[in-house]
A and B are shown apart, each in its own frame.
Chain A
Amino acid sequence: MRFADPACAMAYPADVAQVRLANISKKFGGVTAVDDIELEIGDREFMVLLGPSGCGKSTLLRIIAGLEDPTEGTVTIGDRVVNDILPKDRDVAMVFQSYALYPHKTVQANIEFPLKVRGVDKPERAAAAKVAADSLGLGEYMNRKPGALSGGQRQRVALARAIVRKPAVFCMDEPLSNLDAKLRGETRAELIALHQRLESTFIYVTHDQVEAMTMGSRIAVMSRGHIEQVGTPQEVYDKPESVFIAQFVGTPPMNILPPGSIEPGEHLVGVRPEHLRVNEDGPISMTVTLVEQLGHEVLVTGLVGENRVVVREAAHAEQPAIGSTANLDAEVTTRHRFSALTQRRIDV
C-alpha cells in the first residue's frame, strides 16, 4: 500500500515553524536526562534526533511537545517562547511509538478527536478526517477499530490524527519501531514523501541510524544527555566528531585502531570497513575470525591485537580463510583521527 496522490489538498499554510532550544536541561531527581542542549531546527526541516536508549532524545522531544517542562533553558517555536504554553497551544502534534490510538474509537473517531476537542463542527471535522485518511490510504478503514488493523495501518491512523489539525511542527517518537523490517523500509520512504507534501517541520526521534541517514535533512546525534554532533547525514558519516559517533553511525561501525597501528602518533585511527583493503604490504596484521557472505558484499571480521576489525569486500573478491592472517591497509585520505584522551576528532 502506498500513500495516496500527493496532489490532494494537504499542503499547509506557510507559518514559520523554526524550533530553537537554548540551554535546555532536564533533571529527574538526581539524574540529568538532558544537559545544556543548544539546537536550532529550521522551518520545514526534517530533523532527526539520533542516539542509543537512554541518551535523552525522547525527553528532548517531549520538552518540545510540552509533555515535560525543562529544568532550565527556553524552547522557542516560531517567534514565541513556549515554556509556559500548554501543548495544545504550541501548534505541535505528536506521534507516539505505541501510536496511542484510542482502542474503543473507530479510525474516523480517532482521526477526528483533535478537532472534536477543539470544538470543530461535526461536518467540518468529518471532511478534514476524510482528507487526512485518504491522503494516507485509510479511506476504506474509517469504520474499523484499531484492533482490526495491521501495525502499518495503525501507524497511518496515528499519522492521520497528527496531520488532521495541520500543526506547524510534528514530533515523532520512534514511530516505526513496532513495524517489521520490510514495512519499516516502505514507510520510511513514505514519511519522507509526507514531509515534502506537508511542508511542515518534522522532529523525529530514533535509535536506528539507517532511519536517521535516510530520512533526516539533518541529524543531531545524542549521547548521555548531550548533542555530540549536528549535521547532514553525509557530514555525520564522513566527518564524525567523536569515536562514539564514528561507531554509532554506519553499519558495520567504523573500525577504531590503537595509536601507532597504521600510522605513527599518539592518536586513535578510525577507518570505515569499506576503506580497509587487503594488501600484502599493509601495516596491519589481522587474524580472520569470521567471513560473512551477504550476497552483494562480504564482511570479513578479525582481530588486530585485541581490537575487533571488520573489512567490507566486494561479493566476488577472494576470501581469506578463517584462522588465516591478512595484512590490511587504508588510504591516508580515508583515515579519521581521534584524540586517545578526549575521543574527539582531530583534523590534521
Chain B
Amino acid sequence: MTKRSARSRWRDSGLALLMLAPSGVILGMFVIYPLVKAVFLGRQRCSPTGKCPVTGGWQQYVDAFRSHEFQDALIVTIKYALITVPIGLVLGVGLAVLADKYLRGIGIFRTIFSSTVATSVAVASVMWFFLFNPNLGLLADWIGGVAKTPGLLQSPGTALWAVSASTIWANLGFTFIVVTAGLQSVPKDLYESAYVDGANGFTRFTNVTLPMISPVLLFATVVLTARAFESFGEIDLLTLGGPKAKTTTLTYLAFGKGLPTAADDGLRATVTVLLFFVLLILALLQFRGLEKRVHYGN
C-alpha cells in the first residue's frame, strides 16, 4: 500500500470537517453552548428581573447539593424511579409476551397496548386526574377510604404512587413496542429446542426469552430511568409538586414553581447541572452493572 501524501490527507480532513459542520453547529448551539452557559450560570444568584449580580462560585453547587430541598427532591426522584421503572418494565414485558402469539385478532391488542406511546403527557395526566378525582373519579368510588378523602393525589402517603401510576401507564406503550421488537428477533428454534428438551413455559421464559431480550431490557431500563428523573408534565398537572413536596422531583425543583428556586435563574441552573451529573452517574452505573448480564447475540 502506498502512503497518501500529507496534502491529500489534509484535503480529505477538510472535506470531512465541512460535512460534519452542520451537525457540529447544531450540536454546539443547542447542546454544548447551553450546557456550558448553565454550568457558569449555576455559580450565580439572580434576581427576579433576570440580573445576576451575586457570584456564589463553585461552592454554590456544594451548598445546593447539601440543601434539604435538593436532598428531599433527590429522594423523591429516586423513589419515583424505583416505582415506575421496575413496574413499568414488568408490565411492558408481560403484555409483550402475552401479545407475542399468532392468534386471530392479536393485532387489535397490540394496537391497544402500544397506543399510550401516541398519547401526550398532558392528555394522560388529565385522564388520570379525573380518574383520581375524589368527587368524580371512578377510583374514589371503587377504592373508597383515602381515595375519597382527601384523594389519592392529595394524600402525602399516596400522591407519589398516584403520579407513578399515570407515568407507568403513559410509558407502557414505549416499553411494549421495544420489548415486542426484541421478542420478535428471538429465533423460534430456541423455544422449540427447549420445548423438546422438556422446558416448561416458565423455564423457557427465564432461559430463553429474558436472556435473548436483555439488550432491549437494558435500553428500556436506561430510557425509563432517564424519563423518571426528567418527569415534569405529569407532576405539574397532577400535584404541582405537593402535597408537602412529596412529589417534588429534581426536575420540578429546577422548574421551581412555588419554591425558592422559582425566582432565581442561577439556582435553577445549579439544580439542572446537578441533575445532569446525577443522570450521568446513574447511566454509567446502569451500564456497568447491567451490561455484564446482557447478551448481544453473535
A binds B: yes
B193: interface (CB < 8 Å): yes
Give chain A nearest CB distance to B61 CB in angstroms: 42
Within 8 A of A (CB), among B164-219: 187, 189-190, 192-200, 203, 207-208, 211-212, 214
B187, B198, B211: most-surrounded residue (chain A CB, <10 A): B198
A141: interface (CB < 8 Å): no
Give chain B nearest CB distance to A155 CB in angstroms: 14
Q: Which of A104, A114, A161 contacts B212 (CB under 8 A)? A: A104
Residues of B within 8 A of A145 (CB): 298
Residues of A within 8 A of B295 (CB): 103-104
| B298 near A88: Cβ-Cβ < 8 Å | no
- Docked Cα-Cα span, A105 to B197, in Å, equals 15
A276: interface (CB < 8 Å): no
B297: interface (CB < 8 Å): yes
Give chain B nearest CB distance to A147 CB in angstroms: 3
Residues of A within 8 A of B208 (CB): 102
Residues of B within 8 A of A147 (CB): 297-298
From A32-40, A93-101, A182-190, give the one contacting chain B: A93-101
A117: interface (CB < 8 Å): yes
Give chain B nearest CB distance to A271 CB in angstroms: 42
| A100 near B190: Cβ-Cβ < 8 Å | yes
Assess A94 versus B196: contact at CB under 8 Å? Given A100-B189, A102-B190, A147-B298: yes
- Docked Cα-Cα span, A146 to B189, in Å, equals 15
| B194 near A87: Cβ-Cβ < 8 Å | no
Give chain B nearest CB distance to A56 CB in angstroms: 18
Q: Name which residue of chain B comes closest to A113, CB basis.
A: B197
Cβ contacts A101-117/B at 8 Å (1 or 0 each): 01111000000011001
Cβ contacts A53-89/B at 8 Å (1 or 0 each): 0000000000001110000000000000000000110
- Docked Cα-Cα span, A96 to B196, in Å, equals 11
Assess A118 versus B192: contact at CB under 8 Å? Given A104-B211, A113-B207: no
Residues of B within 8 A of A166 (CB): none
| A88 near B211: Cβ-Cβ < 8 Å | no
- Docked Cα-Cα span, A114 to B193, in Å, equals 9
Q: Name which residue of chain B comes closest to A66, CB basis.
A: B196
A20: interface (CB < 8 Å): no
| A67 near B197: Cβ-Cβ < 8 Å | no
| B189 near A88: Cβ-Cβ < 8 Å | no
- Docked Cα-Cα span, A102 to B209, in Å, equals 11
Give chain B nearest CB distance to A177 CB in angstroms: 13
| B189 near A102: Cβ-Cβ < 8 Å | no
- Docked Cα-Cα span, A87 to B203, in Å, equals 15
| B197 near A117: Cβ-Cβ < 8 Å | yes
- Docked Cα-Cα span, A100 to B192, in Å, equals 9
- Docked Cα-Cα span, A118 to B199, in Å, equals 8
Give chain A nearest CB distance to B193 CB in angstroms: 4
Residues of A within 8 A of B196 (CB): 65-67, 87-88, 92-94
| B189 near A96: Cβ-Cβ < 8 Å | yes
A130: interface (CB < 8 Å): no
Q: How many B residues have CB within 8 A of the partner chain?
A: 21
Assess A94 versus B193: contact at CB under 8 Å? Given A100-B187, A104-B295, A117-B198: yes
- Docked Cα-Cα span, A67 to B190, in Å, equals 13
Q: Is chain B's interface secondary structure helix, strand, loop, or mixed overall?
A: helix
Q: Name which residue of chain A comes closest to B189, CB basis.
A: A100
Give chain A nearest CB distance to B136 CB in angstroms: 50
Residues of A within 8 A of B187 (CB): 98, 100
A165: interface (CB < 8 Å): yes
| A117 near B194: Cβ-Cβ < 8 Å | yes
- Docked Cα-Cα span, A11 to B176, in Å, equals 49
- Docked Cα-Cα span, A146 to B298, in Å, equals 8
Residues of A within 8 A of B214 (CB): 104
- Docked Cα-Cα span, A165 to B197, in Å, equals 9
| A88 near B197: Cβ-Cβ < 8 Å | yes
- Docked Cα-Cα span, A89 to B124, in Å, equals 50
Residues of B within 8 A of A93 (CB): 196-197
Q: Which of B189, B192, B203, B212 contacts A117 (CB under 8 A)? A: B203
Q: Name which residue of chain B comes closest to A97, CB basis.
A: B189
Q: Which of B189, B207, B211 contacts A98 (CB under 8 A)? A: B189
Cβ contacts A122-154/B at 8 Å (1 or 0 each): 000000000000000000000001110000000
- Docked Cα-Cα span, A136 to B272, in Å, equals 61
Residues of B within 8 A of A96 (CB): 189, 192-193
A98, A100, A146: most-surrounded residue (chain B CB, <10 A): A100
Give chain B nearest CB distance to A149 CB in angstroms: 10
Give chain B nearest CB distance to A203 CB in angstroms: 13
Assess A117 versus B199: contact at CB under 8 Å? Given A102-B211, A147-B298: yes
- Docked Cα-Cα span, A43 to B189, in Å, equals 27
Give chain B nearest CB distance to A94 CB in angstroms: 5
Residues of B within 8 A of A65 (CB): 196
Residues of B within 8 A of A103 (CB): 212, 295, 297-298
Q: A88-B198, A92-B196, A100-B187 are in contact. List 19 more A-B contacts (CB 8 A).
A: A67-B196, A87-B198, A93-B196, A94-B192, A94-B196, A96-B193, A97-B189, A98-B187, A102-B208, A104-B211, A104-B295, A105-B207, A113-B207, A117-B197, A117-B200, A146-B298, A147-B297, A147-B298, A165-B197
B contact set with A: CB distance below 8 Å = 187, 189-190, 192-200, 203, 207-208, 211-212, 214, 295, 297-298
A contact set with B: CB distance below 8 Å = 65-67, 87-88, 92-94, 96-98, 100, 102-105, 113-114, 117-118, 145-147, 161, 165
Selected A-B contacts with CB under 8 Å, 28 pairs: A65-B196, A67-B192, A67-B196, A87-B195, A87-B196, A87-B198, A88-B198, A92-B196, A93-B196, A93-B197, A96-B189, A96-B192, A96-B193, A97-B189, A100-B187, A102-B208, A103-B295, A103-B297, A103-B298, A105-B207, A113-B207, A114-B197, A117-B194, A117-B197, A147-B297, A147-B298, A161-B197, A165-B197
